[in-house]
Amino acid sequence: MSIIKISNLQKAYGSKSVLRGIDLSVEAGQIIGYIGPNGAGKSTTIRILAGLDKNYTGDVEVLGFDVKKDPMEVKRRIGYIPEAAEIYEMLTPKEFYELVGGLQDLPWETTQKRASRLQEYLDLKYSPDQRIDTFSKGMKQKVLLISGLLHDPDLIFLDEPLAGLDANSVIRVKDLLQQLTERGKTIFYSSHIMEVVEKISDRIILLNDGKIAANGTFAEINAQAHSGSLETLFSQLTGGSAARTDFDFTADE
Amino acid sequence: MNKLFLWLVSLFNPVWRSIGADPKAIYLILKAKLLMDDRGGMMMGQRQKRKKGMEYMTFIFIGIFGLCLVGLFMITEHYATAVGLGFSMWVAFIGMMLITEMSENLFDQRDLYVLLSRPINDFTLSISRILHIAVFAGKFGLCLGLPTLVYLAVFAGAWPAFVYFLLSILTIVITMTGTLVFYLLLLRHVDSAKLKKIVGYFQIVATFFFFIAYQLPSLIGDVKVLQNIVVVGKPLGFTFPGLWLGGLYEAMTTTTASPLAYAQGLLALIAAGTGLWFYIRQSRGYADRLLQLRVAGAENAAEPQGTTSTSGSKSPVRDFLAGWLTRPNQERVSFRFHWNVMLRDMGFKQRTYPSLVYLPVILVITIFRDAFMGEEEFSLGDGMMLMLLYFLLWILLIPLGQTKYSENYRSSWIFEATANPYPNRIYYGQFMAVLGMFYLPMALLIYTAVLIYWGPSHWIDILLAMGTTLLFTLVYNQTDKDAPFSRSKEDAKFGNIGPFLLVAFLGSIFGFGHWALQLFPYVLMAATVVVWCVLLGWIWYLRRDTNGGAAAGTW
**Residue A251 distance to chain B (closest CA, Å):** 23
**pLDDT beyond 80 at B67:** yes
User: Do both B285 and B344 map to the same domain?
Assistant: no
Interstrand relation of A65-66 and A57-62 (parallel, antiparallel or unpaired): antiparallel
CB contact under 8 A, B307 and A127: yes
Residues B421-438, mean pLDDT to the nearest whole number: 93
CB pairs under 8 A between A and B: 142
**What secondary structure, in 3-state letters, does B44-111 show?**
CCEECCCCHHHHHHHHHHHHHHHHHHHCHHHHCCCHHHHHHHHHHHHHHHHHHHHHHHHHHHHHCCCC
Would you state the pLDDT for residue B492? 54
**Inter-residue contact A165 to A124 (CB < 8 Å):** no
Q: Which of B140-154, B397-411, B449-463, B504-518 has the lowest mean pLDDT?
A: B504-518
Closest chain A residue by Cα to residue B407:
A88
CA distances from B221 to B225, B226, B236 (A): 8, 10, 19
Residues 6 or more apart in contact with residue B64 via CB below 8 angstroms: none
Would you state the pLDDT for residue B518? 82
For residue B30, tell me if it sits in a domain: no
User: Which residues of chain B have a CB within 8 Å of the CB of A136?
Assistant: 299-302
**Residue B91 distance to chain A (closest CA, Å):** 35
Residues B105-129, mean pLDDT to the nearest whole number: 76
**Inter-residue contact B177 to B126 (CB < 8 Å):** no
Binding-face residues of B in 474-513 toward A, CB within 8 A = 485
Strongest mean pLDDT among A37-41, B170-174, B211-215: B170-174
Would you state the pLDDT for residue B318? 92
**Inter-residue contact A8 to A22 (CB < 8 Å):** yes
Residues B437-461, mean pLDDT to the nearest whole number: 92
**Inter-residue contact B447 to B417 (CB < 8 Å):** no
**pLDDT beyond 60 at B201:** yes
- Print the domain residue range for B528: 316-543
Dist CA B522 CA B464 (whole Å): 13
Question: Going by CATH, does the domain composed of A30-51+80-237 fall within 3.40.50.11740?
Answer: no
Domain residue extents for chain A: 30-51+80-237
For residue B322, tell me if it sits in a domain: yes
Cα pseudo-dihedral B515, B521, B527, B528, rounded to 10: 90
Residues B357-374, mean pLDDT to the nearest whole number: 68
Position B320 confidence tier, pLDDT thresholds 50, 70, 90: very high
CB contact under 8 A, A103 and B418: yes
Determine which helix (DSSP H) or strand (DSSP E) holds A5, and give its type and residue range.
strand A2-13
Tell whether B313 lies on the interface with A, counting CB pairs under 8 A.
yes
Residue B339, Cβ density class (10 Å: 0-12 exposed, 13-18 middle, ≥19 buried): buried
User: Do both B462 and B351 map to the same domain?
Assistant: yes
Average pLDDT, chain A: 88
Task: Name the residue facing A90 among B305, B314, B344 (closest C-beta).
Answer: B344
For residue B219, tell me if it sits in a domain: yes
pLDDT digits (tens, 9 = 90+) for B255-267: 888 999 999 999 9
ipTM given for this complex: 0.83
Dist CA B478 CA B471 (whole Å): 11
Dist CA B328 CA B553 (whole Å): 19
User: Do both B84 and B143 map to the same domain?
Assistant: yes
Dist CA B359 CA A5 (whole Å): 58
User: Do both B515 and B385 map to the same domain?
Assistant: yes
For residue B6, tell me if it sits in a domain: no
pLDDT in 10s for each residue of chain A, 253 residues: 789 999 999 999 888 899 999 999 999 989 999 998 888 889 899 999 998 888 899 999 999 999 999 888 899 999 999 887 888 888 999 999 999 998 888 899 999 999 999 999 999 999 988 989 889 889 999 999 999 999 999 999 999 888 888 888 889 998 999 999 999 999 999 988 888 888 889 999 999 888 998 888 888 887 776 767 777 778 777 777 666 777 888 888 8
For the sheet with A57-62, list strands across it. A16-27, A2-13, A57-62, A65-66
Q: Please say which residue of B295, B327, B353 terminates a domain.
A: B295
User: Do both B283 and B325 map to the same domain?
Assistant: no
Dist CA B401 CA B292 (whole Å): 32
User: Do both B168 and B254 map to the same domain?
Assistant: yes
User: Do both B257 and B323 map to the same domain?
Assistant: no
pLDDT digits (tens, 9 = 90+) for B501-528: 666 677 778 778 888 888 887 888 999 9
Would you state the pLDDT for residue B224? 67
Would you state the pLDDT for residue A165? 87
Interstrand relation of A57-62 and A155-159 (parallel, antiparallel or unpaired): unpaired
Tell whether A139 lies on the interface with B, counting CB pairs under 8 A.
yes
**What single letter denotes the amino acid at residue B181?**
V
Dist CA B215 CA B202 (whole Å): 20
Would you state the pLDDT for residue B86? 92
Q: Which of A141, A89, A93 is nearest to B406 (CA)?
A: A89
Instruction: Count Cβ atoms below 10 Å from residue B129 Cβ, excluding itself.
Output: 23
**pLDDT beyond 70 at B496:** no
Tell whether B132 lies on the interface with A, counting CB pairs under 8 A.
no
Position B297 confidence tier, pLDDT thresholds 50, 70, 90: very low
Closest chain A residue by Cα to residue B296:
A134
User: Which residues of chain B have a CB within 8 Å of the CB of A50?
Assistant: 417
For residue B103, tell me if it sits in a domain: yes
User: Which residues of chain B have a CB within 8 Å of the CB of A91?
Assistant: 312, 337, 340-341, 344
- To test the contact with chain A by mutation, choose from B333, B407, B415 the residue with the greatest count of A C-beta atoms within 10 A, namely B333
Residues B128-136, mean pLDDT to the nearest whole number: 85
**Residue A130 distance to chain B (closest CA, Å):** 5
Binding-face residues of B in 281-310 toward A, CB within 8 A = 297-302, 304-308, 310
**pLDDT beyond 60 at B552:** no
User: Do both B275 and B165 map to the same domain?
Assistant: yes
**Percentage, residues of chain A above pLDDT 70:** 98
Position B309 confidence tier, pLDDT thresholds 50, 70, 90: very low
**pLDDT beyond 70 at B307:** no
Tell whether A94 lies on the interface with B, counting CB pairs under 8 A.
yes
User: Do both B344 and B427 map to the same domain?
Assistant: yes
Average pLDDT, chain B: 81
pLDDT digits (tens, 9 = 90+) for B462-494: 999 999 999 988 888 887 778 898 887 666 555
For residue B371, tell me if it sits in a domain: yes
**Residue B297 distance to chain A (closest CA, Å):** 6
Q: Please say which residue of B295, B329, B364 terminates a domain.
A: B295
Q: Which is higher by pLDDT, B407 or B318?
A: B318
User: Which residues of chain B have a CB within 8 Å of the CB of A80?
Assistant: 417
Q: At what angle do helices B459-479 and B423-434 cross, to 10 degrees?
A: 140
For residue B552, tell me if it sits in a domain: no
pLDDT digits (tens, 9 = 90+) for A125-183: 999 889 898 898 899 999 999 999 999 999 999 998 888 888 888 899 989 999 999 99
Tell whether B410 lies on the interface with A, counting CB pairs under 8 A.
yes
For residue B465, tell me if it sits in a domain: yes
CB contact under 8 A, A133 and B416: no
**Residue A101 distance to chain B (closest CA, Å):** 9
Tell whether A128 lies on the interface with B, counting CB pairs under 8 A.
yes
**Residue B43 distance to chain A (closest CA, Å):** 10
Strongest mean pLDDT among B206-210, B212-216, B327-331: B327-331
Tell whether B553 lies on the interface with A, counting CB pairs under 8 A.
yes
Q: How many domains does chain B have?
A: 2
CA distances from B372 to B208, B211, B227, B383, B468 (A): 20, 18, 20, 19, 32
User: Do both B282 and B369 map to the same domain?
Assistant: no
pLDDT digits (tens, 9 = 90+) for B19-33: 888 898 888 888 888
Q: How many CA atoms lie within 13 A of A230 on its CB side?
A: 27
Q: Which is higher by pLDDT, B487 or B51?
A: B487
**Percentage, residues of chain B above pLDDT 90:** 27
Strongest mean pLDDT among B13-27, B58-72, B148-162: B148-162
> Which pTM does this prediction carry?
0.74
User: Which residues of chain A have a CB within 8 Å of the CB of B328?
Assistant: 108
